Amino acid sequence: MDHLNQTLFLWINATDPSAFSLTLGAFLANVLVYVFPLYVVLNWLRTDTAGRDALVQAVLTAVVAMFLSWLVGKLWFHPRPFVVGIGHQYLPHAPTASFPSNHLSFIWALCAGLWAHGAQRRAAWVLGLLGLAVAWARIYMGIHWPLDMAGALLNAIIAALLCLPLRRQVVPGLRALIELPYRWIFAWPIRKGWFRA
């Protein structure tokens, strides 16, 4: 498995990249990640109750996935490629555990939560494909192994399954709790019809 991981990494990792490739890789690896929480916030302002339930489900799933990712990193430390001197590193990064990828655990857990709830399945697929670009870039830039991404996907699926029983009782209650301060803070734009109540 390690041989396959190293082979795939060396195949994807940049060897003689242009300035444009490095800029694109850095953007996809570090900046594109912000699209996902931004989607949650902006979509909350415009979607209906079912859509908001799906967003709450997604955030809960991401929280569980991040905890699982942290736990795996503590129980089994797997070094990053640059720590063991394989490939080329083009982004600065602390020598923390590589498996599973925290970025992709977060991204794909959000997608898995959206998909599991059902109200935003199309968005889950689109965001999941954007996650593939982030996964590729983090390998291309030399800070992750390919199997770190597979681990992140598995982590997201496990987190989604753990959170699935919460969607009927806990998620609607949390959504209603969040809507109380939301409606107070954004009362004026809601009255104007810019945001949904």
pLDDT tops 90 at residue 2? no
Model-level pTM? 0.91
Tell me the residue type at 138: R
Cα separation values, 138 from 81, 89, 180, Å: 11, 10, 39
Measured between alpha carbons, how far is 159 from 133 in angstroms, rounded to an integer?
Answer: 22
Measured between alpha carbons, how far is 181 from 52 in angstroms, rounded to an integer?
Answer: 15
Cα separation values, 46 from 7, 41, 189, Å: 45, 9, 12
Mean pLDDT, residues 22-50 taken together: 95
Measured between alpha carbons, how far is 151 from 145 in angstroms, rounded to an integer?
Answer: 10
pLDDT tops 90 at residue 24? yes
Give the closest residue to 142 by CA, choosing from 59, 94, 86: 86
Q: What are phi and psi of 147, to 5 degrees?
A: -70, -20
* Domain range list for the chain: 37-88+96-189
The rounded mean pLDDT for the chain is: 94
Pick 121 or 67 by higher pLDDT.
Answer: 67
pLDDT value at residue 1: 74
Give residues with Cβ within 8 angstroms of 59, minimum separation 6.
40, 110, 113
For the stretch 129-165, pLDDT in tens is 999 999 999 999 999 999 999 999 999 999 999 999 9
pLDDT tops 90 at residue 93? yes
pLDDT value at residue 48: 93
pLDDT value at residue 197: 84
pLDDT tops 90 at residue 65? yes
Mean pLDDT, residues 80-90 taken together: 95
Neighbour tally for 147: CB within 10 Å = 20
Measured between alpha carbons, how far is 56 from 62 in angstroms, rounded to an integer?
Answer: 10
